[in-house]
Structure 1
């Protein structure tokens, strides 16, 4: 499996800015904190997968800052033989996921981008709670989503994901 050092090397060699890399590190750190709390509560979490997935979740920002950055990240990850479980985290990290119907509307490839595994959900949740490198509250994330006029279903998915994870 890719190590955290491998992940940081891939972010740099793919052309991610230091700002994007700092964000990825902050998301990975929060995802690890969430994972440890879940483990303390008796949940089974693959902490290595969460760490590397958190680091690589925005890999696609090397080439795109649009909604398609997850799809671009998947392509870069595949070209670099990243583990399939990490590729799925990259694919499914945006917001609290993107449904197949929403993907069609957004012009993404016809696929389901909803997080399924606990590790995918942890990284998506952590990403929702990090703006730049700053940890933010769920309320602040929702306010930002409302200001962007995101649809109610997207906001409700973020709230439901936070409730499911139950931490932060």
Structure 2
């Protein structure tokens, strides 16, 4: 049984579904994994097919937006954006039905695979964390926003994404307030990311028709 990480302590918990330690040990280690490396990690950690499909589309959205920002002069590493987006839910399969934070668990998996920079992007895909990076736009912000635009395996407006979150997770007043706060933050991030570029939020919907096939 593999070790899992949780803030402040190490503890044993069930490993990812479909976990194959031999397969995981063969995953190439680079500072930023290639697309194929990311797909290998998805397989090694038993990512469920629906989560994989969602992650692939988040990768498309993040890379499309990141490219537009880079072409506008922003200092962004597109390979880091794509890898962070593809792996943002690496820990989710193992965390289903538990109270474990899948962003933290996934970040630890990615870090242990040898990709600390990508791990930080994964860690921030739900809630952004100030880290002293003074650039006007960070890779983690692009991935965080891209994830907020993909409902299951379809690009949707923020309003649709957060309405779904309320239905699925808004079981208490506290939960609904938290979702409302996340929605407000996402709208501010959207305004920030799109203000300096010609691309508009609605344009991302076209990726539903042009997405890359594997």
After superposition, the Cα gap between the structure-2 partners of 1:67 and 1:162, relative to the gap in structure 1 and judged at 3 Å, is: farther
Whether the 8 Å CA contact 2:158–2:183 is kept in 1: the answer is no
User: How does 1:2-151 map onto structure 2 within 5 Å?
Assistant: 2-65=33-96, 68-81=101-114, 83-94=115-126, 97=127, 113=129, 118-147=138-167, 148=170, 149-151=176-178
Q: RMSD over aligned Cα, in angstroms? A: 2.0
Whether the 8 Å CA contact 1:58–1:73 is kept in 2: the answer is yes
Could you tell me how far 1:39 is from its partner in structure 2? Answer: 2.0
Matched with 1:109 is none
After superposition, the Cα gap between the structure-2 partners of 1:5 and 1:68, relative to the gap in structure 1 and judged at 3 Å, is: same
**C-alpha separation in 2, matches of 1:146 and 1:63:** 23
Q: Deviations over 1:14-70 (max 9, x none)?
A: 111111111111000000110121123222221100011110000011311356101
Q: Whose relative contact order is higher, 1 or 2, with alpha carbons under 8 Å and at least 6 apart?
A: 1
Q: Which runs of 5+ in 2 are unaligned?
A: 1-31, 171-175, 195-199, 202-214
**C-alpha separation in 2, matches of 1:129 and 1:53:** 15
Q: Deviations over 1:96-137 (max 9, x none)?
A: x16xxxxxxxxxxxxxx4586610000000000001110001
After superposition, the Cα gap between the structure-2 partners of 1:114 and 1:140, relative to the gap in structure 1 and judged at 3 Å, is: farther
**C-alpha separation in 2, matches of 1:50 and 1:16:** 20
Q: Deviations over 1:77-110 (max 9, x none)?
A: 12222x211000110001xx16xxxxxxxxxxxx
After superposition, the Cα gap between the structure-2 partners of 1:79 and 1:42, relative to the gap in structure 1 and judged at 3 Å, is: closer
Whether the 8 Å CA contact 2:111–2:118 is kept in 1: the answer is no
> TM-score of the superposition, structure 2-length normalised?
0.64
Instruction: Figure out how many residues of one structure are paired with residues of the other and give that number.
Output: 151
After superposition, the Cα gap between the structure-2 partners of 1:11 and 1:150, relative to the gap in structure 1 and judged at 3 Å, is: farther
Decide which structure has the larger Cα Rg and report it: 2
**C-alpha separation in 2, matches of 1:77 and 1:144:** 28
- Greater fraction helix: 1
